[in-house]
Amino acid sequence: MTPTLSAKWGLRTLAFGYLGLLLLAPVGMIFYKTFEHGIGPPVEAMTSPDALHAIYLTLLMVAIAVPVNTVFGVGCALLLVRHKWKGNAIIDGIINLPFAVSPVVIGLSLFLLYGTGGWFGPTLSELGFQVLFSIPGMVLASIFVSLPFVVRETVPVLQEIGTEQEQAASTLGANAWQTFWRITLPAIRWGVAYGVVLTTARVLGEFGAVTIVSGSISGETETLPLFVAKSFEQFDEQSAYAGAIVLALLALTTLLLMSIGGRKARTASSGPIPIAGDTAIATANTKEGS
């Protein structure tokens, strides 16, 4: 049964209309507002010391949290899929915690743990190590909120490829390390890559948890989303819009890099890129604005 032409076009119009109203219109407005008076004002807004520092801090968060979560995520996925064990269900549940808990709550919990009255706070500050209102706390918050993505994207791909290729490699003389690098990792790379993109997007946009642990000190502990929010509150709309544009461009760049990298990695073999994590993407988006 094929839908009639009018039904087909009706559905398309509906889909585009819905997406346009909910997604494209707001983003388009920001673009319009930013470049309303040419390229000069946004460039000026983004080259102020506070803005530059905010960009630097955001990139620093990405540079630390993404590799940490990638290594942890792949390792954790291997543990969950390849080593069946009763505790796996518990680990699996704990990994979902950052999805289930609001980032604000995550921020508060870190505050309680590392604050002056918390478990670790006093000991760490005696050692001269300050976690709250400084970069370590923000890194912790970023890692926490973006932890599940790589695991969630990698687990289904690992399950799908099965163990035969790895077994074949071992009969051919490869040790566990060689098997991982030459067989397992290339086979799951799309899952991992999606996880990395989602992690990056999450860290770039993180607001709730970071705002609590950082104290949002301009030029010191202010990431780009915090900078955007503060500019907006202080009626510096030009900076707010420009900051938002930079955030969006950073996220787009990540996506673009992954597509280019993926295409280069496999030119000979056709076939669509497997999309493993639709649910994870959806979850990521709902968390983005909190």
Partner 1 sequence: MGIAVEGACKRFGDFQALDDVSIDVPDGSLTALLGPSGSGKSTLLRAIAGLEDLDAGQVVINGQDATATPAQKREVGFVFQHYAAFKHMTVFGNVAFGLKIRKWSKPQISDRVHELLRLVQLDGLAERYPDQLSGGQRQRMALARALAVEPQVLLLDEPFGALDAKVRKDLRTWLRRLHDEMHVTTIFVTHDQEEAMDVAEQLVVMNQGRVEQSGSADDLYDHPANEFVMSFVGEVNRLGEHFVRPHDMDVVLEADERTEEAMVQRIVALGFEIRVEFVLGDGTEVWAQLTRAELQKLELREGQIVYLRPGQIKSFSGDVPSSDGRGASTPRDPEGDDDAEVTAAA
Residues that bind partner 1 (CB under 8 A): 164-165, 167-175, 178, 182-183, 186-187, 266, 268-269, 271
Of 168 and 282, CB closest to partner 1: 168
Of 93 and 162, CB closest to partner 1: 162
Q: How far apart are CA 165 and CA 174, in angstroms?
A: 11
To partner 1, the closest distance from the beta carbon of 191 in angstroms equals 13
Contacts of 111 (CB under 8 A, 6+ apart): 118, 132, 212, 213
Task: Show the 3-state SS of 88-157.
Answer: HHHHHHHHCHHHHCCHHHHHHHHHHHHCCCCCCHHHHHHCCCCCCCCHHHHHHHHHHHHCHHHHHHHHHH
To partner 1, the closest distance from the beta carbon of 256 in angstroms equals 22
Six-digit token string for 66? 């993404």
Q: How far apart are CA 111 and CA 47, in angstroms?
A: 32
To partner 1, the closest distance from the beta carbon of 10 in angstroms equals 38
- The secondary structure element, H or E, covering residue 234 is none
Q: Could you tell me if 19 and 188 are in contact, meaning their C-beta atoms sit under 8 angstroms apart?
A: no
Of 4 and 175, CB closest to partner 1: 175
To partner 1, the closest distance from the beta carbon of 170 in angstroms equals 5
Of 138 and 276, CB closest to partner 1: 276
Of 102 and 170, CB closest to partner 1: 170
88-95 vs 148-161: helix crossing angle, rounded to 10: 140
Six-digit token string for 42? 């946004």
Of 8 and 182, CB closest to partner 1: 182
To partner 1, the closest distance from the beta carbon of 185 in angstroms equals 10
To partner 1, the closest distance from the beta carbon of 83 in angstroms equals 15
